[in-house]
Structure 1
Amino acid sequence: MTENKIELKSVCDLLGLKFFIPSYQRGYRWNDQQVEDLLNDINDFRPESVNNSDEGTWYCLQPLVVKKVKRSDSHCDEANEEENWYEVIDGQQRLTTIYLIIHYFNEMWNGKRKTTLPTISYATRNDSYYFLRSLEIDEAQEAVTPGKEFREYIDYFYMKQAYSTIHKWACKQGDNFDNNDFQSKFIHRTKVIWYETIDEDPIKVFTRLNIGKISLTNAELIKALFMNRSNFRVSDVNHLKLRQQEISSEWDNIEYTLQNDEFWLFLNEKGYSRPTRIDFIFDLICEHNELTLCEEKYCQIGSDDYRTFRYFYEYFNSAQSDIEKCWNEVKAYFQTFKEWYDDLELYHYVGYLIIYGHTISDLVAEWNNAIDKASFVKSLKQMVKAEIDKCPGIDFQYNVDGSNKGRSKPILLFHNIQTIVNQNKNNLDNSKYQIGVFYKFPFHLYKIESWDVEHINSNTTNEEDDTMTQEQWLLNVYLSAENKIQSKIIDFFAKDSEEQRNKLFDEIKKHFHQAENWTPEEKNKIWNYTLLDSSTNRSYGNALFSGKRRVIIGKDKGVKISIPRFTRDRRLEFTAESKAESCFVPPCTKQVFMKYYSAIMTDANYWTKEIDAEGYLRDIKECINKLDN
């Protein structure tokens, strides 16, 4: 049974191997900085011991993806039989640089005891093999020169430049530079992730890794370990194939679920850049050493991007290796996340805590230590309460400075969360309701969009003494006004004189409830705050409560609401509606503008203190008190 091979090879293991760089690869292009970074990393690396054994720590390079092929050695003068070569699908830039470093130290430091070089043949520049071997330092001209004449190619320019960079770097190290130590670390303590593919079409693999900019992920490398038959304790071929297919199918199901943003952004923040998301679970297993890798090996796996792969690699190469135990750990993490996601109470408390910095690792540890679900929920509530307690006191007395309103964001978000939890609990007690009617707060939308705390009643004075505010107020009351008042409103828009407009406005206002006077301190309490996304906030600016209400209703309907205006010929004109950027409105924000918390229905044009704001504040406090139950 032929399968992909994955292992760690030291640079020493590459010596003497034959590599072929196919024509679909671009030429060598590493710049000075890339070469220097590699040299500095090797030089700064401090292994636990420096010898020729595999024990101790080591420095790891990124993957070298190859495919074994049969071909003749085109560099021999006489005909020869086909030999084993490795077609380099990904990693030829690193491989060529490794060659240049070994070649440089052979020529400048090693005398007669030269290190064996790998063979590298390039399909597009057949004499690149000779060019690389002939590079030397001309001390007199302080330049890199090939030992004979070659045609000028851009590949050769970069190869010469890299060789020169190696020389300049070595010269800068000074008298304290121990070249033997450096070479030992480079040859024996530097490893590559060797990925030998059996794919019949290496160009397809190359396209995915390079043209598509999809790197070989930890998950893909780890999957090769899981699919390696030598890691199974099964001798029957048919049983082995079946188990491989089962694990592969379960793997795909986990990845498919994690690719759903509703599920993924419940657990994570936006901005995850890896193409596969199951890496997330492998990282957690590695972080907690769930496979109980011995301390010595665990300390050797390093801290770079491929740390997690090396963790699993070391595990599968240990005496304790058990693929069923390993896969069960993966499934256990996934099943835990799935249970949290599907539970209407756990989902909301876990999602809230993750937003405010609690790690998945800590929550999983709490889950594993809990006696049952009820005790876990109690722990979650205590953690949520701790987050609430970090906010200003329960009396919500804020500073006058409106810029501090963001401090109430955890409370406002929690108010939405607990409101939904309360509603779901009530529905659970009603046998008529099926699970499909239950509502879950869309954490994915909350994280994707930009949300902040905004004033319900405008934070400006807004005495309705400027033309724009007067026009807005009149448009809001027009449709509900008596015919006589509607005629006066139309007259207002027809007046050219500001004095006439002000006089008519004062006359119209006498027929309606007058706005309350809010002090700056009152406007900067939580009873006047709600959650809004930035696009909606920009759309209504410093509007009256009724204007904001109209925009919120439109957003909830999925449209940018039509804003009416009066024309000079006294017609009420509505602009065309357009699709809203987003139609998600947090439930408590919607309820604020629907006057949901008010004991009686007050004037829809205003957010009142004694009726609306007090009722809203009372509901927030009641939700917080639920954490103690």
Structure 2
Amino acid sequence: MSRITTLPIKELYRLDSVRELYNLAKVNHETFTIPDYQRGYRWEANIHIEALLKDVFDFMNTNRNIDDRYCLQPIVVTQSSTHKGAWEVIDGQQRLITIYMLLNALGLPTFNLVFESRPKSNDFLAQLIANGKANHDDPDFHFMSEAWAKIKQWLKDKNNQDPGFDLEYKPVLWKNVNVIWYDIESTSREINIDVFNRLNIGKIPLNDAELVKALLLSKIKGRYKDAVELTMRQSEINNEWHRIEIELRKPQKWGFITGNVHKEYDSHIEFLFDLMAKNRAKGTAEQKYTTYLWFEHQVNAAGRKPEAQADMAIKLWGQVKDAYARVNSWFCDNNVGSDTAIYHYVGYLLASRKVQVYDLYNDSFEKSRKGFRDHLRGLVKDTLKGIKLDELKYGEDDDTIKMVLLLFNVLTCEKIADGMYNRFPFDRYNEIAKERRSRGGWSLEHIFAQNSRDPMKDPKAALHWLADTQKSIKNISSVIKTIKNDSQSEQEKSEIDLTKLKVQIEKMQQSHPNTLDMDAFNNLKNKVNNIFGEVDRHPLSNLALLSTVDNSTLNNAVFPTKRNRIIELEKEGRFIPPCTRNVFLKFYSPSDSQPYYWSRNDQDAYLAQIKKMINDFMKN
């Protein structure tokens, strides 16, 4: 078992509150021992030391209340088995030694440090602080010398800039800068070394989740006098914790609820803690441990009595389970019919980045299930306000078009009561969306190639185009095109035989890159494009959602080539949005439309289906 609390720097000098809590005898000042399994002091002056000094300085200059706290990373300790009344430092040695030097440099009271296996470091550190004489013969001495010089010079520079600097910096460091005191309450050297290895060699830091867990499990002691009963209750919480963590780690569920969450989580349950604490941190250093501090505040606000704090800890754990049940209900709302609405509305709003999951979580408390569903529908409708589908253009309204096409896909799935695609896979959509940093993400695919009229200049690319086209049309004998007559009121059908065209392509394909006639190739390419499609290239009616990576493989290809490649990509396991797949399979086109030719009629039918789906939703 462990105990955890937050302490201002001044209490490291004398831990009266901790000793009172533990029923330990008070001392004049504390002693911290650095055990033999710890490595030497290795903080670098221009990186770690400067960062700590600057963090405190930046906090001092923020608009803050007098009681606001800045929290340093945890110091993990246990009562020393070799030095009576002292504390063995399991993790946080580097930070603690730096604080020790900073307190001495500022002339503030400080604690004692004892290096168990490095007695020379004890003497050197005392002499360094007393006379400032550096020594670089030993690694420990070198890094301590550099750190001390950095601290002294930094404080000197600040005082030169502002003669009253010390008067403000000292009380902030002394009272407002906190450390998280994490006592693992172990008397076993083996356990202490194991904890040290996990935190240092494995590079696994104590995150908010672990700190909250330690807080809740330690505080419930106040309600259970019987050790067996306490152990059973703690085991029950541990098991519930594990089940929630396992459920949240399921890719479909996690990808759905964290569609627009930027913070990376080692423990997924920490996401629930952030929801409860209204913590929208993106994981920056300035925002570390704010979630833990919120939970600690709730416990302390219950009063000083152990029973009251235990009741609050139990209540908080109940709220954690309720938070999981709430977000899980969004995902598991997968019954047939209208019950899929919450899943699809929440998923769309998060994936389109129009709302934050924190806001939806808060909204869900204030409404009935039906009220929440109606609220979500209203939020989805709000995303469409002012949008005129006929006027959307590629290159001008790309983000809006992507949002509209995402909603078209989502509503298509939501409308299907049963079947393979009755739930839009938001986890896969969001996974691709988060690839934007590496030039991935989602893009707009032109159904009829946007650059189809542009001449190609690279012979190798031209030969590749010929090979793809020849493969795609080898089994097509003719194309029937529908064209308007001179009156523009009637349509005629024209059948184009492809025999000669395929011979031309095959013959040109035999050319060497160095001998390929590019003018002749571009003329042939335009002829092919005229046969397989002739549409307005940039409106919504010629656009579909496709990942940027997959889109790059379809550039300049004619419609039958794109169609075949879409089918191949889906067979390879790539995620093709259902409506993108549908449009290349001519799902929305008139029944007499050929599968290999993308016409204006196809384009009009596709846009009509988008309009119908969205208009039906807006009216419902």
Pick one of 245, 248, 267 that aligns with 2:235.
245
TM-score normalized by the length of structure 1: 0.77
- 2:598: which partner in 1? 607
Deviations for 1:273-298, whole angstroms, at most 9, x for unmatched residues?
23112112112212289xxxxxxxxx
Q: CA deviation at 1:179?
A: 3.7
Pick one of 357, 361, 365 that aligns with 2:362.
365
Alignment pair present for 1:550 and 2:560: no
Alignment pair present for 1:280 and 2:258: no
CA–CA distance in 2 between the matches of 1:47 and 1:481?
76
CA–CA distance in 1 between the matches of 2:91 and 2:54?
23
Pick one of 296, 302, 310 that aligns with 1:319.
302
Alignment pair present for 1:447 and 2:413: no
User: Contact 2:534 / 2:600 at 8 angstroms: preserved in 1?
Assistant: no
- 1:393: which partner in 2? 388
Q: CA deviation at 1:587?
A: 0.5
Deviations for 1:563-612, whole angstroms, at most 9, x for unmatched residues?
xxxxxxxxxxxxxxxxxxx42111001101111011214232221111x2
Deviations for 1:66-106, whole angstroms, at most 9, x for unmatched residues?
1222115xxxxxxxxxx233221211111101111222334
Alignment pair present for 1:625 and 2:607: no
Letter matched to residue 545 of structure 1: F
CA–CA distance in 2 between the matches of 1:526 and 1:549?
19
CA–CA distance in 1 between the matches of 2:60 and 2:473?
76
- Which has the higher mean CA deviation after the structures are superposed, 198-207 or 342-351? 198-207
Letter matched to residue 30 of structure 1: W
Aligned-residue Cα RMSD (Å) equals 3.5
TM-score normalized by the length of structure 2: 0.78
Letter matched to residue 42 of structure 2: R
SS in 1 for 2:73: strand
Change (3 A) 1:61 1:516: closer
Change (3 A) 1:471 1:18: closer
Which structure has the highest helix share of the two?
2
SS in 1 for 2:287: coil
Q: CA deviation at 1:39?
A: 3.3
Pick one of 30, 38, 48 that aligns with 1:25.
38
CA–CA distance in 2 between the matches of 1:516 and 1:191?
68
CA–CA distance in 2 between the matches of 1:609 and 1:374?
42
User: Contact 1:10 / 1:188 at 8 angstroms: preserved in 2?
Assistant: yes
1:264-413 mapped onto 2 (5 Å cutoff)? 264-268=254-258, 269=260, 272-287=263-278, 304-319=287-302, 321=309, 322-343=312-333, 344-357=340-353, 358-370=355-367, 372-389=368-385, 392-394=387-389, 396-399=390-393, 402=395, 404-413=397-406
1:104-143 mapped onto 2 (5 Å cutoff)? 104-106=105-107, 116-136=109-129
Alignment pair present for 1:68 and 2:59: no
Q: CA deviation at 1:362?
A: 1.6
Change (3 A) 1:230 1:591: closer
Alignment pair present for 1:524 and 2:525: no
- 1:578: which partner in 2? none
CA–CA distance in 1 between the matches of 2:477 and 2:177?
82
Letter matched to residue 534 of structure 2: N
Alignment pair present for 1:169 and 2:154: yes
- 1:207: which partner in 2? 197
CA–CA distance in 2 between the matches of 1:547 and 1:284?
47
Letter matched to residue 533 of structure 1: S
Alignment pair present for 1:8 and 2:13: no
- 1:565: which partner in 2? none
CA–CA distance in 2 between the matches of 1:151 and 1:288?
45
CA–CA distance in 2 between the matches of 1:47 and 1:451?
41
Q: CA deviation at 1:548?
A: 0.3
- 2:585: which partner in 1? 594
Change (3 A) 1:375 1:601: farther
- Which has the higher mean CA deviation after the structures are superposed, 200-209 or 467-476? 467-476
User: Contact 2:212 / 2:292 at 8 angstroms: preserved in 1?
Assistant: yes
Q: CA deviation at 1:58?
A: 3.8
SS in 1 for 2:391: coil
- 1:89: which partner in 2? 90
User: Contact 1:7 / 1:313 at 8 angstroms: preserved in 2?
Assistant: yes
CA–CA distance in 1 between the matches of 2:270 and 2:325?
15
SS in 1 for 2:612: helix
Letter matched to residue 145 of structure 1: K
Alignment pair present for 1:538 and 2:563: no
- 1:416: which partner in 2? 409
CA–CA distance in 2 between the matches of 1:288 and 1:101?
31
SS in 1 for 2:553: helix
Letter matched to residue 266 of structure 1: F
User: Contact 1:513 / 1:603 at 8 angstroms: preserved in 2?
Assistant: no
CA–CA distance in 2 between the matches of 1:99 and 1:455?
64
Q: CA deviation at 1:360?
A: 1.5
Q: CA deviation at 1:123?
A: 4.0
- 2:182: which partner in 1? 195
CA–CA distance in 1 between the matches of 2:169 and 2:399?
54
Change (3 A) 1:613 1:87: same
Change (3 A) 1:311 1:196: same
Q: CA deviation at 1:420?
A: 0.3
Aligned length in residues:
537
1:224-239 mapped onto 2 (5 Å cutoff)? 224-230=214-220, 232-239=222-229
SS in 2 for 1:540: coil
CA–CA distance in 2 between the matches of 1:7 and 1:250?
24
CA–CA distance in 1 between the matches of 2:377 and 2:501?
56
- 1:566: which partner in 2? none
Letter matched to residue 38 of structure 2: Q
- 1:78: which partner in 2? none
Q: CA deviation at 1:470?
A: 6.1
User: Contact 2:350 / 2:356 at 8 angstroms: preserved in 1?
Assistant: yes
User: Contact 1:231 / 1:316 at 8 angstroms: preserved in 2?
Assistant: no
CA–CA distance in 2 between the matches of 1:167 and 1:465?
66
Letter matched to residue 235 of structure 2: Q
CA–CA distance in 2 between the matches of 1:198 and 1:368?
39
Aligned-residue sequence identity (percent) comes to 30
Q: CA deviation at 1:27?
A: 2.0
- 1:583: which partner in 2? 574
Q: Which runs of 5+ in 1 are unaligned?
A: 49-54, 73-82, 107-114, 139-143, 290-301, 428-432, 559-581
